[in-house]
Amino acid sequence: MAELGKAHDADKVIDGAGCVAIPGLVNCHTHAAMTLLRGYGDDMALRDWLAGRIWPAEAKLTRDDVYWGTRLACLEMVKTGTTAFADMYFFGPVMADAANDSGLRAVVCEGFIDLGSDERREANIKSTEETTRHVRCMRGGRVHASVGPHAVYTVSEKGWQWLCEHAKEHDLLVHTHLSETAQEVSDCRAAHGVSPPGLLDRLGVLDRRVLAAHCAHLSAEDIALMGRRRVAACHNPVSNMKLGGAGVMPWAELSAAGAPCVLGTDGAASNNTLDMFETMKSAALLQKFSGDPTRLPARDALEAATARGAAALGLPGGRIAEGQVADVVLVDLGRAGMQPVHDVVSNLVYAGAGRAVVATVCAGKVLMEGGAVPDEREVVKRASAAAMDLVRRREDAAAAAAGAKG
């Protein structure tokens, strides 16, 4: 080992005996700080969950909450082999700092939700500009800005147009939610006479680099359009199943049309983990459940979670080769659940490899070794305290409002 280090002029040598080295995984859609709301309302109808739990809690979020929630998410990603992620949430500069302090690569955007209000649009424009400026001034080169129009039903045409201009001016990725539910599609058709992808095309959004999360309710016409425009379609199988969206992203059809298909966890409130190994498996199973077990084979899932994911985010990584960035994960093949190894890719995708990650390296920096992350205890403690305090503030406000009514 020591000789190997010397021969390659290495600062550090990690003994990877019995492990397989794979490129760091890429989570193409999450809301990292939602780790604070993990388990705060499960098994509920989407509308009740959002209106009764998530939105009231989010209304109480502080910058500190977002920082520690994002740090907790990054810690979980490091522990389960993810080295890059696309994040959409609130307090963009804080999200960027937390990702940077964790040592990961990230493409962050402030969620843009104007609901047709001029006042909200101005506030959203200000915070998007602030995020772009903040990220541009950061050192390290691992964190990048994007723009985050939440969805066709929450952003006005004026909002989309401003975001398109801003993305064009600064060459930013457009990260959005698209055709997540049947209701979104029928409402969009009723209001605009076209489907959500059709509307984005009409607004000129698809001229930009677009990352669209969910894509669970698409027509043949939508699929052809997204293929032509090379829209990256991010499948979030666990979140879709958990929230009962009753639609499955047409992976094979989008791929055949030319749209790169990638993978994401969505936020921890609707998943409830950020383990991309679990997402690879769930994606493959959900595609096969239609009755065709040849759909989304393990190798395609691994490619989507590595090289294709990195390319969709405009990041380096996703391959282990000379000249590539050092984003590498070691998975212990000696564990009971990982033996025997007839096919290493099969074990990685189907045998729960997230639990077997022992080392994570991002941009040449060792973030975890021997299963240990140096500041793990501190991050867990600070984030858990922030989560409990957030929920208490939200419940105190609800009790005060009920008291005022009574």
Q: Which is nearer to Zn ion, 150 or 394 (CB)?
A: 150
Of the residues 65, 266, 275, 332, which one makes contact with Zn ion according to CB under 5 A: 266
**Minimal CB distance to Zn ion: which residue?**
266
The yes or no reply on residue 58 touching Zn ion (CB under 5 A) is no
Q: Which is nearer to Zn ion, 266 or 327 (CB)?
A: 266
Q: Please state the separation of Cα 91 from the chain's center in Å.
A: 16
CB of 107 to Zn ion, least distance (A): 14
The number of helix segments (H) and strand segments (E) in the chain equals 17, 12
- 282 touches 298 (CB < 8 A): no
CB of 29 to Zn ion, least distance (A): 6
CB of 309 to Zn ion, least distance (A): 16
In order of 21, 299, 303, 333, the CA distances from 345 in angstroms are 11, 7, 10, 11
Contacts with Zn ion by CB under 5 A: the residue count is: 1
**Which one-letter DSSP state was computed for residue 367?**
E
The yes or no reply on residue 180 touching Zn ion (CB under 5 A) is no
Rama region for 214: left / alpha / beta (φ>0; ψ in -120 to 50; rest): left
State which H helix or E strand residue 263 sits in: strand 261-263
**Which one-letter DSSP state was computed for residue 46?**
H
Q: Which is nearer to Zn ion, 65 or 266 (CB)?
A: 266
Stretch that binds Zn ion, among 63-71, 123-131, 263-271, 308-316 (CB under 5 A): 263-271
CB of 189 to Zn ion, least distance (A): 22
Locate tokens 């994002």: which residue?
A: 70
Rama region for 26: left / alpha / beta (φ>0; ψ in -120 to 50; rest): beta
- Smallest Cα–Cα separation from 175: which of 50, 63, 28? 28
Q: Which is nearer to Zn ion, 184 or 266 (CB)?
A: 266
Q: Which is nearer to Zn ion, 226 or 330 (CB)?
A: 226
- 262 touches 279 (CB < 8 A): no
The arrangement of strands across the sheet holding 328-332 comes to: 19-23, 328-332, 357-362, 365-368
Stretch that binds Zn ion, among 17-25, 258-266, 293-301, 366-374 (CB under 5 A): 258-266
Stretch that binds Zn ion, among 157-165, 188-196, 266-274, 344-352 (CB under 5 A): 266-274
Contact residues: Zn ion, CB under 5 A = 266
